[in-house]
Structure 1
Amino acid sequence: MLRDLDLEKLVVASRQRLTQEFADKYANLRERVRRVPIEEARRIAEEFSCPLEIAMMAHLIYMDGIQSLRQSIALLSAELQRRALIGEDIPNIPGNIMEFAITEGRWIEYVYGTFARDLELKVRDLANLESTLDEESATVEKAISVITARTKLAEGFIVPVLQAWLKEHLKSTSQEVLLYFGPPVTKWKHETVKGKLLHLRRRNQALFRKLRAILSTASESATVDTSITRLDSLVEDMDKPLSGMAVKSIAHLILHMSPRPTGRGDRSRYVQVGAATTRGNKTEPDMASPFDFLERDVRLTRRRVGEEQSKFLMERIDRVIRVLKFQGDPIQDIVKTCLSELTDRLGLENISLDEQYESVEQALADVGFREYDTEAVKLVFDFVNTYYLSE
């Protein structure tokens, strides 16, 4: 069983990591937002009818592959509107709006990026432990292992993040926390999360009652008594209205709604709530670089046909090239690297990369500067279409 002292150490370590990461992210966004092309930002602001500063931050979030422009602006605008409703308006001054956009953009990038990804990785080991609870021989030791693992994740990893979010989002309720963190964790839409919260809460309580039933078979033990008290407290708090639940209970509910990798044989009726994993119900290698995503999407392209196939592939290639371009790579090098990476990752044979590179240089030299991006996408698309899809 996890001791309170050990849990406190986990919480302190999590807070320190979060503080440092947020400081770095804030500095990074503040520096990069200055380099956003002003004409592009104005176009976005006009298209979505939002302040220029919001458009600039949405552009960064989009370029980082975190969210679409529309969704980024929706998230930033929703918080602007919420603050206005609670009497904490952001002054309609460019400097104030920019400060808000950077601070809130930092949260969007963290929650939809780092947090969701880290939680997904951490949940994998927990899923293996939880799967043992469906066995007829589920023991007290197994139950305590599950409780310990869930406590580490919920109270040692998630709670510090929620506390930091609540501190910066004044007058937010527990339900608003769940609706903010739910979509990036589950990959469900906001409305879907809202509609399933009560069901998820009941499933979470059912799991805790299952654990309590297993523990109640044990002989007298301080560890067991402490675990039962912890479970009873959580179940009782989850009976409250969603807007009045304690942060600890919210964290456990967020952990519970996190999809489990069903490819490992997890069939627990207590933890499987119908959420699909982010990778087609498979536990696959983690994707870190843009080329990991490019490889995945190129392989997925074969599942489509005709115009849908071409549209899907062009969109995915365009996204990767934009990310690489924003990282500062020359467009010519980007295309060459894409061809090289795809050749290696897809196991393509009988291809002279030197000849491909010459073709890339010639093709880009024949078009104007404004057409570089379009031509780059076309070059990679033609390469994939010729050497992979046409096989």
Structure 2
Amino acid sequence: MLLEPDIEKLAIESRQKLVQEFADKYANLRERVKRVPEADAQRISEQLCCPSEIAMIAYLINMDGIMGVKQAVRLLSEELQRRAIVGDSIPNLPGNIMEFALTEGRWVSHIYGSFVRQLEIHVRGLANLEEGIEGPAVEVEKALSIIAARTKMSETIIAPVADEWQKEHPKATSKDALMFFGQAITKWNISTLNGKFLQIQRRTQALFRVLRESLLTASDSFTMDAAINRIDMLIEELGRSFEEMTLRAVSHLLLHIAPRQATGRGDRSPYVSVGVTSTRGNKAEPDLASPFDFLERDVKLAKRRLGIEREEYLKHKIARVLRVLKYQEHTHVESVEKCLTEIVDRLEIDGSQLEKIIEDFKVTIANAQEAERDNLSVVTILSFVTSNVYGADSV
């Protein structure tokens, strides 16, 4: 079991790391926003009816491959609206809106990016511990291990971040934190979250009651009594309304809804599984193995979309493919050439201009700064697909 001093020490370390990461992220966004193409920002602003400052930050978040422009604009706009509702409106001046967009964009970028990835990594180990919990017949050692793992993740990883988020968001309630973090962790929309949170609340309490029953069978000791008392307090906190819930309880709920990878063992605990994972469900579709399989699929799926929605979708998907190729140690030119060649071959389109496009791209890349090359690669592939696959349907 983790003792309170250990929990506090780890939480402080998490806060310190967050402060440094946020300082770097803020400086990065402030510097890069100066180079956002005005035409792109204006187009996003007009199509999504948002201030140009928010459009610029949404553009950068999209370029980082974190989410699409539309989702980024929605999240930033929702917080702008929330502040107006609670009486803490942002003055409608370019400087104030830009400062808001930078600070809130930093949160969106962090939570939907590194925070969620870190949580996914930590949850893998917890999922193995949680498998097979059936009723009160849980070994004491296993119960203690689960409690310790959950406490460490909830109260030293999630809670410090949620606490800082609440401090930086005027008059934000625990429910606001649940909704903001919950969307990032589960990828569910607001209505789905609202519908599931009551069920998740009850399941989390039920899980801790099962673990508590297991501890009652152990011999009396100060450590065991302290663990039981702590669980009793947590169960009580989890029973409060979402608006009045403590951040500790919020962090445990958020951990509970974090998707677990299916192990295939067939002994998943009913106390933990709340339907947050999904499979392909025996769909009649080919297996997707290489990055080009995914690229082909996404180019075809994008036909269902139009305008900026299609562009956002493809930019996000193309960027993911390029990141995989980069990880495989391909250069920018090699990656673009492979992608374009595969598109031509798989979709059976005219590739007569391919050689010229690649040669022009080599010149462009050679004259570009390193920070701009990823975006140039995405734009080159997107432009080719838009012109040669969608044609007149690209507007």
TM-score where L is the length of structure 1: 0.79
Structure 2 residue runs without a partner (length 5+): 282-287, 346-352, 363-375, 388-395
- The answer to whether structure 1 residue 337 and structure 2 residue 338 are counterparts is no
CA deviation string 1:185-213 (max 9, x = no partner) = 01111210111110000000010011011
Q: Aligned equivalents of 1:325 and 1:94: distance in 2? A: 35
Give the 3 Å change call, closer, same or farther, for CA 314–338 of structure 1 in structure 2: farther
Q: Aligned equivalents of 2:221 and 2:212: distance in 1? A: 14
Q: Aligned equivalents of 1:27 and 1:301: distance in 2? A: 33
Structure 1 residue runs without a partner (length 5+): 282-293, 349-355, 366-370, 383-391
* Match of residue 273 from structure 1: 274
What letter corresponds to residue 271 of structure 1 in structure 2?
A: V
Q: 1:43 offset after TM fit, Å?
A: 1.2
Work out whether residues 15 and 160 of structure 2, in 8 Å CA contact, stay in contact via their aligned partners in 1: yes
Work out whether residues 203 and 271 of structure 2, in 8 Å CA contact, stay in contact via their aligned partners in 1: yes
Q: Quick one: which of 312, 316, 321 aligns to 1:319?
A: 316
1:1-391 alignment runs, 5 A limit: 1-134=1-134, 138-263=138-263, 265=265, 267-276=268-277, 298-300=292-294, 308=301, 318-319=315-316, 334-339=332-337, 358=355, 360-361=357-358, 376-377=381-382
Give the 3 Å change call, closer, same or farther, for CA 182–82 of structure 1 in structure 2: same
Give the 3 Å change call, closer, same or farther, for CA 199–301 of structure 1 in structure 2: same
| Count of residues in correspondence between the two structures | 351
What letter corresponds to residue 361 of structure 1 in structure 2?
A: I
Give the 3 Å change call, closer, same or farther, for CA 381–65 of structure 1 in structure 2: same
SS of the residue aligned with 2:220? coil
Work out whether residues 212 and 228 of structure 2, in 8 Å CA contact, stay in contact via their aligned partners in 1: yes
Q: 1:73 offset after TM fit, Å?
A: 1.0
Give the 3 Å change call, closer, same or farther, for CA 221–108 of structure 1 in structure 2: same
TM-score where L is the length of structure 2: 0.78
What letter corresponds to residue 58 of structure 1 in structure 2?
A: A
Q: Aligned equivalents of 2:334 and 2:292: distance in 1? A: 16
Q: 1:4 offset after TM fit, Å?
A: 1.3
What letter corresponds to residue 212 of structure 1 in structure 2?
A: R
Work out whether residues 64 and 323 of structure 1, in 8 Å CA contact, stay in contact via their aligned partners in 2: no
Work out whether residues 133 and 143 of structure 1, in 8 Å CA contact, stay in contact via their aligned partners in 2: no
Work out whether residues 62 and 72 of structure 2, in 8 Å CA contact, stay in contact via their aligned partners in 1: yes
Q: Aligned equivalents of 2:355 and 2:294: distance in 1? A: 29
Q: 1:223 offset after TM fit, Å?
A: 1.7
Work out whether residues 336 and 360 of structure 1, in 8 Å CA contact, stay in contact via their aligned partners in 2: no
SS of the residue aligned with 2:50? coil
Work out whether residues 14 and 156 of structure 2, in 8 Å CA contact, stay in contact via their aligned partners in 1: yes
Q: Aligned equivalents of 1:142 and 1:163: distance in 2? A: 30
Q: 1:337 offset after TM fit, Å?
A: 2.2
CA deviation string 1:126-173 (max 9, x = no partner) = 011111533986310110000000000000111100110000001111
Q: Aligned equivalents of 1:303 and 1:102: distance in 2? A: 34
CA deviation string 1:259-284 (max 9, x = no partner) = 1111353611111100116x869xxx
SS of the residue aligned with 2:133? helix
Work out whether residues 295 and 317 of structure 2, in 8 Å CA contact, stay in contact via their aligned partners in 1: no
Q: Aligned equivalents of 1:42 and 1:161: distance in 2? A: 33
Q: 1:300 offset after TM fit, Å?
A: 4.2
What letter corresponds to residue 319 of structure 1 in structure 2?
A: H
CA deviation string 1:70-104 (max 9, x = no partner) = 21111111111111111111111111110000000
CA deviation string 1:53-73 (max 9, x = no partner) = 111111111111222222111
Q: Aligned equivalents of 1:325 and 1:95: distance in 2? A: 35
Overall identity of the aligned pairs, in %: 46
Give the 3 Å change call, closer, same or farther, for CA 296–274 of structure 1 in structure 2: farther
Q: Aligned equivalents of 1:111 and 1:243: distance in 2? A: 21
Q: 1:316 offset after TM fit, Å?
A: 6.8
Work out whether residues 336 and 377 of structure 2, in 8 Å CA contact, stay in contact via their aligned partners in 1: no
Q: 1:295 offset after TM fit, Å?
A: 7.0
RMSD: 3.7
